[in-house]
Chains A and B, each alone.
Chain A
Amino acid sequence: MSVALRQGPLAEFWYYFRENRGAVIGLWVFAAFAFVALFAPLLAPYDPTQQFRQSVLLPPAWIAGGDWAFPLGTDPLGRDMLSRLIHGARYSFFVGIVVVVVAASGGILLGLIAGFSPRWLDSLIMRLMDVILAFPSLLLALVLVAILGPSLTNAMIAIALVLQPHYVRLTRASVLSERTRDYVVSARVAGARLPRLMFVTVLPNCLAPIIVQAALSFSTAILDAAALGFLGMGAQPPTPEWGTMLAEAREFILRAWWVVTFPGVAILVTVLAINLMGDGLRDALDPKLKRS
């Protein structure tokens, strides 16, 4: 233990993170997912929208009637499932990144403002967040997308807006507990202005719970975007988004299990990996639970 404590914060973090086997597995799966997302056009055997009309609804290759040219089979329009799934990783990865960046940056900013501002502004911001949190997140996202028009971009905006209050609350809570600490008071006495106090002095010490929340909302974003796609309010066909693929496959569930099974497995494995990673992050970053 003492070895870990003498090293830098990153090494210390890794020391604790590594102890959680599930988290490490999650990290590897997530790395593979990111790799597939980044290099999808190089990895996918075909274009995701190319239709092979002579091979419609082919089962996976290892089943009688399958063809190794289409390892995971084809969908009702003769498109290669594997290529569509690989390209689908791009959309989910993109959704996760954009939603987390937008929700976290907006939420952190509002949380810092609420934590440092006079009471009336603090109350105003927090009541506003209470209002957003009063709606079930998927319902609010659904109505927002209905207003903005169904598309993946609008789905991302809606999900980011819905997830953002969590960041505001977390940041504000940490700010309030840090604000009266000696190091902040001394920075103030030394003449640090408000922006410096907010972003340089206090913010780095509030990051631990925010990082955990970021991992959690990455998986929530993927799930919600897929759910919106499934309801017809997210990415539109023929986009190979996993939720949209499931919606298209619904009428074939009793005839062709593979068009329904694989997109769902892809969503589940990705979300599970991120959640495993998030659990590991929480254990490694939360000083209360550290065993040292």
Chain B
Amino acid sequence: MIRYLLARLLTFVPTFLGVTLISFAFIRVLPGDPIIVMAGERGLTEERYAELVTQFGFDKPLPVQFWTYLTGVLQGDLGVSYVTKRPVWDEFFALFPATLELSLCAIVFAIAIGLPAGVIAAVNRGKLFDRALMSTALVGYSMPIFWWALLLIIVFSGNLGWTPVSGRMGLLYFFEPVTGFMLIDSVLSGQSGAFGSAVRHLILPTIVLGTIPLAVIARQTRSAMLEVLSEDYIRTARAKGLSPLRVNGLHALRNAMIPVVTVIGLSVGTLLAGAILTETIFSWPGIGKWMVDSIFRRDYPVVQGGLLLIASMVMVVNLTVDILYGFINPKIRARK
């Protein structure tokens, strides 16, 4: 097991270096002179320009610049935003709870509906319910979520007036963030109605972001269940006279969960990519919208740092899933 752990950790190091190198390279090939954007001064004199070049280390050879950047990154220094002049690291962690809250709600929504739907479809294989469900899942899987968001806004915000169009909280309420999670902070604030407002703001973004993971989980659960249901031990369990609920829910689902858990773990990348679109449409103040805004503002340190942090997060989650998988399934660690 220790060898497996070490082997997995060892592949992590070069990938992390590569990710850092790519994020580092972007700032040097982006259009526009970073010095001029960074200084934010009009009519920059040549002396001042040269001074800034030295200040930001752009006169050093590229390998030296990369080394400086890498050592900075490892100490948690990702540079300072051109626009807000705040450290990228602080900005990221101020906005991250918003994205995390939305993503958690989306994945809970996806699991709560997708998992039972997949199980019921597998048990009723080939029947009308199965076919209807799998057709719906394929539609969900093919959905352009930015359009789906607009449709939901038309119906639920425009026609029915049930949900707000954007943001995380109604304008009537104000309180200092404690955890960064609106659902928790609104309760802590003690203001009546604040929690309801937080929930109403969350509904549409959650559905939009959860749609594709929901479809993937439903399809994956169904196929994993079908595979398990044809095993001998299921037939034995049935022959022993156990109730269908016990056979399907306990015996089959437990083993079918292994591939499903992997899919859930690996959907972090999908969620973060989806968050870019969802947050932009709903003006959700998270890291997805932050990245898009920074790209348009040419705020290079933010783009660079955000890219690195997001990729690192995906890598850490994938690594964790892999290692957990090694714990659950001894076949995998034996293979190496």
Chain A, 34-57, contact with B by CB distance < 8 Å: what is the 0/1 string? 000000000000000000000000
Q: How far is the CA of A77 from the CA of B243 in the complex (A)?
A: 64
Contact between chains at A143 and B26 (CB < 8 Å): yes
Contact between chains at B18 and A138 (CB < 8 Å): no
Q: Which of A149, A267, A268 contacts B139 (CB 8 A)?
A: A268
Contact between chains at B138 and A276 (CB < 8 Å): yes
Contact between chains at B18 and A127 (CB < 8 Å): yes
Contact between chains at A142 and B276 (CB < 8 Å): yes
Q: Which of B138, B146, B148, B310 contacts A136 (CB 8 A)?
A: B310
Task: Tell me whether B291 is interfacial, beta carbon within 8 Å.
Answer: yes
| B141-160 interface (Cβ within 8 A of A) | 141-144, 146-148, 150-151, 153-154, 158
Contact between chains at B15 and A272 (CB < 8 Å): no
Q: How far is the CA of A59 from the CA of B148 in the complex (A)?
A: 21
| A1-38 interface (Cβ within 8 A of B) | 22
Task: Tell me whether B7 is interfacial, beta carbon within 8 Å.
Answer: no
Chain B, 144-182, contact with A by CB distance < 8 Å: what is the 0/1 string? 101110110110001000000000000000000000000
Chain B, 297-336, contact with A by CB distance < 8 Å: what is the 0/1 string? 0000001000100111011001000000000000000000
Q: How far is the CA of A131 from the CA of B273 in the complex (A)?
A: 16
Q: How far is the CA of A143 from the CA of B30 in the complex (A)?
A: 9
Q: Which of A134, A135, A147, A267 contacts B144 (CB 8 A)?
A: A267
Task: Tell me whether A209 is interfacial, beta carbon within 8 Å.
Answer: no
With a CB–CB cut-off of 8 A, which chain B residues contact A149?
Answer: 31
Known contacts: A127-B15, A231-B292. The answer to whether A136 contacts B31 by CB under 8 A is no
How many residues of chain A are within 8 Å of chain B by beta carbon?
A: 42
Contact between chains at B144 and A139 (CB < 8 Å): no
Contact between chains at A219 and B142 (CB < 8 Å): yes
With a CB–CB cut-off of 8 A, which chain B residues contact A82?
Answer: none
Task: Tell me whether B74 is interfacial, beta carbon within 8 Å.
Answer: no
Q: How far is the CA of A243 from the CA of B145 in the complex (A)?
A: 11
Would you call the interface of chain B mostly helix, strand, loop, or mixed?
helix
With a CB–CB cut-off of 8 A, which chain B residues contact A140?
Answer: 307
With a CB–CB cut-off of 8 A, which chain B residues contact A130?
Answer: 11, 15, 18
How far in angstroms is the closest Cβ of chain B from A29?
Answer: 12
Task: Tell me whether B262 is interfacial, beta carbon within 8 Å.
Answer: no
Q: How far is the CA of A139 from the CA of B308 in the complex (A)?
A: 11
Interface range, B side: 35 or more
With a CB–CB cut-off of 8 A, which chain B residues contact A272?
Answer: 138-139, 142
With a CB–CB cut-off of 8 A, which chain A residues contact B270?
Answer: 136
Contact between chains at A267 and B31 (CB < 8 Å): no
| A232-290 interface (Cβ within 8 A of B) | 232-233, 243, 246, 250, 253-254, 257, 260-261, 263-264, 267-268, 271-272, 275-276, 279
How far in angstroms is the closest Cβ of chain A from B275?
Answer: 9
| B21-41 interface (Cβ within 8 A of A) | 22, 26, 29-31
With a CB–CB cut-off of 8 A, which chain A residues contact B138?
Answer: 22, 272, 275-276, 279
Q: How far is the CA of A140 from the CA of B273 in the complex (A)?
A: 9
How far in angstroms is the closest Cβ of chain A from B314?
Answer: 6
Contact between chains at A227 and B144 (CB < 8 Å): yes
With a CB–CB cut-off of 8 A, which chain A residues contact B148?
Answer: 264
How far in angstroms is the closest Cβ of chain A from B80?
Answer: 19
Q: How far is the CA of A130 from the CA of B319 in the complex (A)?
A: 12
With a CB–CB cut-off of 8 A, which chain A residues contact B22?
Answer: 131, 135
Contact between chains at B144 and A226 (CB < 8 Å): yes
Task: Tell me whether A223 is interfacial, beta carbon within 8 Å.
Answer: yes
With a CB–CB cut-off of 8 A, which chain A residues contact B314?
Answer: 134-136
**Smallest CB gap from B146: residue in A:** A230
| B250-278 interface (Cβ within 8 A of A) | 269-270, 272-273, 276-277
Known contacts: A127-B14, A135-B19, A267-B147. The answer to whether A253 contacts B276 by CB under 8 A is no
Q: Which 3 A-B pairs have the closest CB atoms?
A: A264-B147, A131-B18, A136-B273
Interface of B toward A, CB cutoff 8 Å: 11, 14-15, 18-19, 22, 26, 29-31, 135, 138-139, 141-144, 146-148, 150-151, 153-154, 158, 269-270, 272-273, 276-277, 280, 291-292, 295-296, 303, 307, 310-312, 314-315, 318
